[in-house]
Amino acid sequence: MSKVITIAQQKGGSGKTTIAANLAAVFAIKNNLSTTILDTDPQGSLGKWFITRQEKLKSKNTIQFKTASLWGAQYEAKSLKEKSDLVIIDTPPKIDADGRPAIEVADLILIPISPSQVDFWATESIIELAKRKKRNSYIDKQSER
């Protein structure tokens, strides 16, 4: 059965895109799952990563890529679930209420967090939204880099 993982955090620079890219690579290569990454961040860093990967690996790249607005994330993810074993959604910072569709469609929400009080505060609204939508969430406390 197909799954959706949404990576969300209000604060920028928390590692959402890096986590999305690395999870996609691991699930596609090591677990042999058909994996699609869905970039909802207007900055487009995940798309840049995908294009670089595609140019280097050509036909060996087994990861698929799509973009959508945050409001279109739910529709796009549901469609992609029919074609992929796993859909990973990368979200922009400051998603709050706009992030609801990406949270609602998720089977798991990953919330990366740096060990600072500001990051803890920024996390509260994502946790509350996940709880209201009765979605599992996991907070990944990053060690110092």
How far is the C-alpha of 125 from the C-alpha of 91, rounded, in Å? 14
13 sits in which H/E element? none
Q: Is residue 117 situated within a structural domain?
A: no
Q: Is residue 97 situated within a structural domain?
A: yes
pLDDT digits 0-9 by tens, 32-43: 999 999 999 999
CATH value at residue 83 = 3.40.50.300
Q: Is residue 116 situated within a structural domain?
A: no
Q: Is residue 79 situated within a structural domain?
A: yes
pLDDT digits 0-9 by tens, 73-96: 999 999 999 999 999 999 998 776
How far is the C-alpha of 114 from the C-alpha of 140, rounded, in Å? 8
pLDDT digits 0-9 by tens, 96-127: 667 789 999 999 999 998 777 777 777 788 88
Question: Residue ranges of the alpha helices (H) in the chain?
Answer: 16-29, 45-57, 73-81, 100-104, 117-132
Q: Is residue 119 situated within a structural domain?
A: no
Indicate the SS3 state at residue 89. Answer: strand
Q: What is the pTM of this model?
A: 0.82
Is the CB of residue 104 less than 8 Å from the CB of residue 130?
no
CA dihedral over 31, 110, 77, 133, signed as positive or negative:
positive
Domain limits for position 101: 3-111+124-141
Domain count for the chain: 1
Q: What is the average pLDDT across 24-30?
A: 95
